[in-house]
Amino acid sequence: MMHQASMASYLSAMYDPYIGTPAVEGMIQKRVPSTAPEAIQAVNDAEAALGYCRDEVLPELDGLDRDVTRPLLDLLDIAKTIQKTIVKRSHKLIDYDRHRLALAKLTAKQDRSFSEEKQIFKTETALDTATQDYEYLNNMLKEQLPHFFQLQSHFIQPVFERYYAIQVKIYGMIYARYHELFNANLNHFITNQMGIEDGFNYRKSQHDVRAEMENMDLLKSGGKAWLAASGGVNNSRLSLQERAALREQEKAGGMALSPPPAYGSSSSSPRMMNQYSTGQEKQQLQQQAWGPSSAPAPPAIANRTGGQYVIALYDYQAQADGDLSFRKDDKIELIERTMDQNDWWTGKLHGQTGIFPGNYVSEL
């Protein structure tokens, strides 16, 4: 019940109708899609109903401890005492048999010495004591155990009835609260009267959440699809040895190495057009970056290079047709570049020619 009440409070926070509004200073900003009013009302009613259940059930648990648990623990203590008495009776029986056999062995001799006569006297005394102890414990158990079992049966019956009554009362409280909750939100709990499988299929026909979750990039490839385009020690293409070396470099440098953004915002320089773009493609790229009415002059005139190479500082995965993919420390032949390192340059690697962000490489 405590876990259910806590879960209801979590759901109430998730279904908060004010999610998405500016957060109060010092509070956490929450954001989820808007929720239907019926769902908000249902989750608020559920939180209140489970809170009432918790407050009503807790006092009943005190009665359960007083009327059921503690009396049964006292009964167990009595049973342990009786068990110890039974064990002691068994030990006295062993002493009785030992002294009886020793006395029979001594009295069987025809010619006995003075020490043997003395030993017979001592054994008879010990046998008499062992006999009295054994008979006392044995008779007590035979007389009082049946009476104890009879009293135990009379004791268990009211305890069991009290336990049953407390259970019925607690379940009645919970049922009453849930019944009130369902009747107040019939438009939301529409699968309450259905079977489990029928209710599941109905909910699935209304909104297939599982299919939507499986199509999320966040959950693809074991939740690591985003690592393909990332750099630094979390890059999925790096070996463990390479990651460890990179961590050491980060510690020595006092800062974490992370790749700069490959694509700038709308206010940054337009993506560089290489020599393989047609005139129409260049015009479209200019219009996408600057708008059709204010297309400025292209960035600094590109310099064609020959035999010049650059070294990759980070991994880069092609994000559009014509991009050049590479890994950190790859040696790229530079074909064309601009004076601005934040522009797109043209290079060649492994027989492939394409453009890449200039701030991902360093000149050799």
CATH number at residue 85: 1.20.1270.60
Q: How far apart are CA 28 and CA 31, in angstroms?
A: 10
Q: Could you tell me the mean pLDDT of each successive run of 10 residues in the chain, 364 residues long?
A: 82 70 58 70 88 88 91 93 94 92 88 85 92 94 93 92 93 90 85 88 84 75 52 52 63 56 46 45 48 44 68 88 90 89 89 91 86
Position 243 scores a pLDDT of: 61
Whether residue 239 lies inside any domain: the answer is no
Spatial strand order of the sheet with 361-363 comes to: 352-357, 344-349, 331-337, 303-312, 361-363
Are residues 180 and 283 part of one domain? no
Which of the listed residues 184, 218, 244 is the one where a domain comes to its end?
184
Whether residue 251 lies inside any domain: the answer is no
Are residues 285 and 176 part of one domain? no
Q: What is the CATH number of the domain that holds 290?
A: 2.30.30.40
Whether residue 285 lies inside any domain: the answer is yes
Which of the listed residues 184, 202, 235 is the one where a domain comes to its end?
184
Whether residue 262 lies inside any domain: the answer is no
Are residues 170 and 45 part of one domain? yes
Are residues 178 and 283 part of one domain? no
Q: Which residues are CB-neighbours of 119 under 8 A, at least 6 positions away? A: 106
For every residue of 88-124, DSSP letters joined together read HHHHHHHHHHHHHHHHHHHHT-SS--HHHHHHHHHHH
Q: Which of 326, 334, 338 is nearest to 299 (CA)?
A: 338
Position 43 scores a pLDDT of: 86
- DSSP bridge partners of 337: 303
What is the number of structural domains in the chain? 2
Are residues 284 and 180 part of one domain? no
Q: How far apart are CA 80 and CA 82, in angstroms?
A: 5
Whether residue 231 lies inside any domain: the answer is no
Are residues 140 and 26 part of one domain? yes
Whether residue 193 lies inside any domain: the answer is no
Nearest 5°: the CA angle 203, 209, 210 is 110
Q: Which of 361, 316, 319 is nearest to 337 (CA)?
A: 361
Position 54 scores a pLDDT of: 87
Ramachandran quadrant class, 232 (left: phi over 0; alpha: psi -120 to 50; beta: rest): left
Whether residue 92 lies inside any domain: the answer is yes
Whether residue 224 lies inside any domain: the answer is no
Domain range for residue 80?
Answer: 2-184
Are residues 293 and 172 part of one domain? no
Position 148 scores a pLDDT of: 93
Are residues 287 and 150 part of one domain? no
Which of the listed residues 146, 164, 184 is the one where a domain comes to its end?
184
Are residues 29 and 144 part of one domain? yes
Position 245 scores a pLDDT of: 64
Position 268 scores a pLDDT of: 40
Cβ pair 337, 359 in contact under 8 A: no
Q: How far is CA 170 from CA 47, 176, 316, 337, in A?
A: 18, 10, 62, 78
Strands 361-363 and 352-357, sheet pairing:
unpaired
Are residues 315 and 172 part of one domain? no
